[in-house]
Amino acid sequence: MRMVPLTVLVYEGPMARAYLGAMRLAGYRPEQVIVMVQERDLVSGKPILPWLPTSWRTHLAARGQDLRMNFWPRALYRRHPRLVEACLAALEAITPHAAAFLPYLIETSNYPQFTDRVDSVLVDGVRDVRLSHLIERSPRPRCVLFTGGGILPKTLLDIEQVRFLHVHPGHLPEVRGADGLLWSVLLRGVPGASCFYMSPGIDEGKVILTRDLPMVNLPPEFLGLSLEERYNLLYSFVDPIIRAAVLLDVLTIHSEDLLSMPVSAQALEAGRQYHFLAPQMRDIVSRLFATLD
Amino acid sequence: MNSALEPLQPFVEAARTGLMGSASPVCLEIGQWLENPDLLQAESQRKRLLAYGRKMDLKRILYASYDPALLRPTSDAPLGEDGYLGLALVLAVNAGKGAEFGNTRSDALQAINTAFHCLGKVQSASHRDSSSRIESILITLLSEWVQP
């Protein structure tokens, strides 16, 4: 295993799992993993077990977060194992070890398999000072891979000697914003992904690598799923593995120095920020994954 | 109105009639766009339509009135179902006009997406039939734009 000067900031879910699994399969070991454990229930917003000592709360909240955030990969594999395996085989058009990602996407969290240093921190979102303090106390200078969605607050982006890396599922600058995988296929006919240093705007940072990728041709059985299952299959397996493939491309070229990779500023006027697709659009666009060549 | 938009015409006329008597400035503006879609060839009008669309995409709610720059609502009252239905129609007409109104393919696809979000706000029995028929027309319109 080759140590990489990288901290992976884990927002529990398929994206973080795919990045960590991809690095392990490719022989990379990030120096640190920070697991953000949300102290509030993600649906109700209520604090989780606030009367317990912090260490117990962190452990139990992390377990609940694992169950909730990885519900769909597990449910889809339990309900449709052969279809999921066929979808992963189709993803080998993009990355050669796609089928081997499966255990990382569905098994219970086991972060020590990926790194020698795991720090878990109970937080109330990415603005929580406990998170910025932990990053400030961690080794610097450091590149931090953010595995959640959306934007990071100034309190994190302004930490000295730290740069945040993100992989967005769309070709930049053309396709920014939400539902990037689906908008990419709708607008460009193929999926895409881009790796960039994060800045205050959504997907507006300086780009390290941007790629259009081959279309993923999912098996016809995909069309027999409900819209909810189709959408969640795309976001449980296709989207995270596409992002992980581009992350690996970046690591292959730049793993020695992730803080000062060559970049290009985005010509923002060449694209726009897209928003979540309405269910009717999701229905039509998700079908393209089993019908476009 | 081009052929793809013709099936929308009865809904446009019904919605326009309803909106033009509204007390809501947003509904009145939507009604004016339905009455005269050519207004949307003006950059200032297109910007206002885009601003309403962005609010809908991000917050899934519009209010009955806004300040002149459309930055803040000046009413606590949400837009009524007539307003959402009317806005869906304006967005559909604008998308269907395509290059004639200076729309790129991505403009049209984004407008149709926002129109679907607007239809999602129309739930009452009195509007359900219109909403589902407009939705079918939008899906047909969308199919023209889907293949790259």
pLDDT digits (tens, 9 = 90+) for A105-127: 999 989 999 999 999 999 999 99
Write the pLDDT tens digit of every residue in A176-210: 999 999 999 999 999 999 999 999 999 999 999 99
Taking phi over 0 as left and psi of -120 to 50 as alpha, with beta for the rest, B98 belongs to left
Rounded CA-CA distance B101/B98 in Å is 6
What pLDDT does B70 receive? 92
pLDDT at B41 over 50: yes
Name chain A contacts of B58, Cβ cutoff 8 Å.
Answer: 275
Cα distances (Å, whole numbers) of residue A212 to A58, A63, A110, A129, A288: 39, 36, 32, 37, 16
Higher pLDDT, B134 or B143: B134
DSSP symbols for B73-136:
BS-SSBPPHHHHHHHHHHHHHHHHHGGGGT--HHHHHHHHHHHHHHHTT--SHHHHHHHHHHHH
Write the pLDDT tens digit of every residue in A31-59: 999 999 999 988 888 999 999 999 999 99
For residue A19, name the pLDDT band (cuts at 50, 70, 90).
very high
Contact A175, A186 (CB under 8 A): no
- What is the model's pTM? 0.94
What pLDDT does B27 receive? 96
- A189 closest CB neighbour out of B113, B116, B148: B148
Mean pLDDT of all residues in chain A?
A: 95
Name chain B contacts of A285, Cβ cutoff 8 Å.
Answer: 146
Reported as half-sphere exposure (CB side, CA atoms, 13 A), residue A234 has a value of 28
What pLDDT does B2 receive? 62
pLDDT at B4 over 90: no
- Angle of helix B105-119 relative to helix A180-188, nearest 10 degrees, comes to 130
Token pair belonging to A49: 């077990």
What pLDDT does B23 receive? 92
Mean pLDDT, residues B9-24: 90
Label the pairing between strands A175-177 and A192-197: unpaired
Token pair belonging to B76: 């606590």
**Cβ of residue B112 closer than 8 Å to a chain A Cβ:** yes
CB within 8 Å: A280 and B138 = yes
pLDDT at A150 over 90: no
For residue A293, name the pLDDT band (cuts at 50, 70, 90).
low
CB within 8 Å: A275 and B116 = no
